[in-house]
């Protein structure tokens, strides 16, 4: 049995949890999301906590048990506080700007690159920092990964788009050849 799956999930004030046909609908100040609950897992609400349990114990259900609880916990945190990923532009002339719902990147290509923000995701740009915010942890992470994929950081000068806390392993580069003073 999963140690994570047995932990109760605290539901903060302002967050409403409702049952729907295929899972739980969680609504809060940042939006509403639905978490699908697999068939072998049940849940019960006790005051301000949701507790998950397994109907039958077998290998596949053990792996889904902890995952379901973690997904629900991430959803509760997302609709109450929200999720945020920050990226950083490193390079001379690299710029980013928000036009409507689209992020427009100028990162050394012959054309600007547009990335559309889906419904519920907010993108903000301050100088060389790009912030992706929203209630859905998976979607925020995917949009941030798509932005990074446009120009990943290269190992020689470190130029590109990187996560704020990412450490780039640098390579030494080409060593200068030793010039010999032999006359021919």
The pLDDT of residue 184: 56
**98 and 137, same structural domain?**
yes
**100 and 57, same structural domain?**
no
Residue 122, phi then psi, degrees to nearest 5: -110, 135
Residue 178 counted as domain residue: no
Question: CB neighbours of 27 closer than 8 A, spacing ≥ 6?
Answer: 15, 16, 18, 79
The pLDDT of residue 176: 53
Identify the CA nearest to 127 among candidates 162, 153, 90: 90
The pLDDT of residue 67: 92
> What total of structural domains would you count in the chain?
2
**98 and 150, same structural domain?**
yes
The pLDDT of residue 60: 82
pLDDT tens for residues 10-39? 999 999 999 998 899 999 999 999 999 998
Residue 183 counted as domain residue: no
**41 and 105, same structural domain?**
no
What is the residue range of 100's domain?
83-163
Instruction: Compute the distance between CA of residue 77 and CA of residue 68 in angstroms, rounded to an integer.
Output: 14
The pLDDT of residue 59: 81
Report, as ranges of residue numbers, the positions in the chain whose pLDDT lies below 70. Answer: 1-2, 176-184
122: part of which helix (H) or strand (E)? Answer: strand 122-126
Residue 169 counted as domain residue: no
The pLDDT of residue 61: 85
């Amino acid at each position: 049995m999963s140690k994570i799956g047995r932990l109760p999930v605290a539901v903060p004030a302002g967050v409403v949890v409702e049952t729907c046909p295929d899972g739980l609908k969680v609504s809060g100040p940042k939006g509403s999301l639905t978490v699908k609950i697999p068939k072998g897992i049940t849940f019960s609400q006790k005051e301000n906590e949701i507790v998950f349990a397994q109907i039958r114990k077998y290998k596949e259900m053990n792996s889904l048990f902890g995952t379901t609880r973690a997904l629900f916990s991430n959803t509760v945190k997302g609709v109450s506080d929200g999720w945020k990923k920050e990226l950083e532009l490193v390079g001379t002339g690299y710029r980013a700007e928000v036009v409507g719902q689209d992020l427009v990147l100028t990162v050394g290509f012959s054309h600007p690159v547009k990335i559309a923000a889906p419904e519920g995701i907010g993108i903000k740009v301050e100088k060389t920092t790009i912030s992706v915010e929203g209630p859905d942890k998976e979607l925020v992470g995917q949009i941030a990964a798509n932005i990074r994929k446009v120009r990943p950081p290269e190992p020689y000068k470190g130029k590109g788009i990187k996560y704020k806390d990412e450490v780039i392993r640098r390579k030494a580069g080409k060593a200068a050849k030793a010039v010999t003073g032999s006359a021919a």
